[in-house]
Amino acid sequence: MDLGIDRQAHVPVVQQIVSAVVQWIRESGVSPGTRLPSIRQLALDNLLSQSSVIEAYERMVAQGLLAPRQGPGFVVAQPTTSHECNWYEGAEREWGVFADNPLGELKLGCGWLPDAWRESDDISYAIREVTRTDTAGLFNYSTPLGLPALREQLLKRLTQIRIDTRLDQIMTTAGASHAQDLLIRTLLKAGDSVVVETPGYGSLYRQLAFHGVQLLEVPRTRGGPDIPALEALLLAHRPKCLFIQSLYHNPTGTSLCRTVAERLLELAHRENFLIIEEDVYGDLQHASCVRLSALPHDDRVIYVASFSKTLSSALRVGYLCASKAIITQLASLKTLTGFGTSRFAEAVVATLLANGTYRKWVQRLRKRLGTEMTATLQVLEDEEWEVFAAPAGGMFLWARPGAAPSTLLQAYARQLEVLVSPGQLFSPSGEHSEWLRINVAYAADPRALALFRAMGPARSTSTILKATSM
């Protein structure tokens, strides 16, 4: 099979392979079960490294386009509805849809920033600096709580956002998901019940479900969890924890208002539950904001954050902040289940925090996101989409078309080569929803604009049907 790879092109080789294979599957009309050329053969035919072919095939498997055979090799997969991933269930769905995109589809519903927005010079500098100056960082295990030099920088950051804590209450983790995993294993047992916001982060629902925890759903309003609904759940179930994203909530983009925050803390005190406040988008603010961890909370709030959404997802550096008693248990479990986090990665992040690079970086990021947010809100208003709430920061908007039903939207998005995040990904039960998560960092693309326009009220259903040839 000749893939027509162009080594001068700006598109990475792996992506070119994926595009060419996807095109071959579509155009040749092969049936599911048809065997693909072997990795070795495809690499030979196209003068490619085998690892590029492997990476391309694996991405297609994760996206449900190919399936592994019994025995070596891959076959064309059974077609699935929409962009669902059929190999790894659950947590991989988001990765499968958005980590790569065949044919260079626009990742409008993606949970992270475009590669082009990241800044590689600064991070390369910090890596070289650590490599040159910190030999221990290349070899040694980290300490149970994480590298002190990083935690000292984290303490400064936390103090700036008015979180009153101490060095021995801060522990590093390999990202926020790892922090949540340690918390779930330490604080909860199978059969316990917890409150989660809906819509909310699908991976968290699945983490909790894996642990056998019962999920109680509280609706997310514009100002935070719906208090009367929460009170009813507390009364009926006596849950152990509430999991919340206070700022730039995924997927609604909303932030906690002060009245709701104070009420939550009163309830936590009175009804004796803990609050896990996840703040992975917290550095993307351009407005004053309310964090539960920054209010007096009597050790009832545990704070979780990471650098994956701003600095790098590849380094796997996150952290949490809790009472000394809980930190001691978490540090024990962290060491037991992984012998600590990467001292090297922690030294790199510490360098970027200490030399001011990170601060400047997020300042630029906020400004850029703010511009895109304003522009996207304007377009959606013009096209008469319904927006759940105008966010005060972050990267997400929660919106639905004014007229057309979501099935039409998905078909049209596929035709425009736009990947969307339908509302059911943000419901514990996968309940159908007309809402979409929109990442404003991708929303200025002409394909996004075409989608917004096509789903506006001016277009009749028949026009869309015609456009999507349904």
Q: What is the DSSP string of 253-298?
A: -----HHHHHHHHHHHHHHT-EEEEE-TTGGGB-S----GGGS--T
- 332 interacts with a second copy by CB under 8 A: yes
User: Which of the stretches 126-134, 221-229, 297-305, 442-450 binds a second copy when contact is defined by CB under 8 A?
Assistant: 126-134
Q: How far apart are the C-alpha atoms of 422 and 437, rounded to whole Å?
A: 7
- Among residues 154, 167, 152, 173, the alpha carbon closest in space to that of 334 is found at 173
Question: What are the strands of the beta sheet with 421-422, ordered from one edge?
Answer: 386-387, 396-400, 436-439, 421-422
**Nearest approach, Cβ of 397 to a second copy (angstroms)?**
23
- 340 interacts with a second copy by CB under 8 A: yes
- 140 interacts with a second copy by CB under 8 A: yes
**Nearest approach, Cβ of 299 to a second copy (angstroms)?**
13
Which residue reads 């259903």 in tokens? 461
How far is the CA of 290 from the CAs of 27, 154, 325, 430, in angstroms? 53, 19, 26, 30
Closer Cβ to a second copy, 131 or 221, answer by number: 131
Residue of 23, 86, 131, 415 that binds a second copy (CB under 8 A): 131
- 355 interacts with a second copy by CB under 8 A: no
User: Which of the stretches 47-55, 256-264, 394-402, 440-448 binds a second copy when contact is defined by CB under 8 A?
Assistant: 47-55
- Among residues 258, 257, 265, 247, the alpha carbon closest in space to that of 223 is found at 257
- 136 interacts with a second copy by CB under 8 A: yes
**Nearest approach, Cβ of 165 to a second copy (angstroms)?**
11
- 103 interacts with a second copy by CB under 8 A: no
* Residues 187/274, Cβ–Cβ less than 8 Å: yes
* Residues 318/175, Cβ–Cβ less than 8 Å: yes
Which residues from 78-97 bind a second copy, rule CB under 8 A?
A: 87-92, 95
Closer Cβ to a second copy, 145 or 260, answer by number: 145
3-state percent breakdown (helix, strand, coil) of the chain, nearest 5: 45, 15, 40
Instruction: Compute how many residues bind a second copy; rule: CB under 8 A.
Output: 77
**Nearest approach, Cβ of 222 to a second copy (angstroms)?**
28
- 133 interacts with a second copy by CB under 8 A: no
**Nearest approach, Cβ of 357 to a second copy (angstroms)?**
14
Give the contact letters, 255-274, x = binds to a second copy (CB under 8 A), - = no. --------------------
**Nearest approach, Cβ of 394 to a second copy (angstroms)?**
19
| Bridge partners of residue 193, in order along the sequence | 214
Which residues from 145-204 bind a second copy, rule CB under 8 A?
A: 145, 148-149, 151-152, 166-168, 174-175, 177-178, 181, 203
* Residues 63/85, Cβ–Cβ less than 8 Å: yes
Which residues from 296-315 bind a second copy, rule CB under 8 A?
A: 308, 312-315
User: Which of the stretches 142-150, 258-266, 394-402, 406-414 binds a second copy when contact is defined by CB under 8 A?
Assistant: 142-150
- Among residues 55, 67, 36, the alpha carbon closest in space to that of 100 is found at 55
User: Which of the stretches 2-10, 129-137, 266-274, 395-403 binds a second copy when contact is defined by CB under 8 A?
Assistant: 129-137
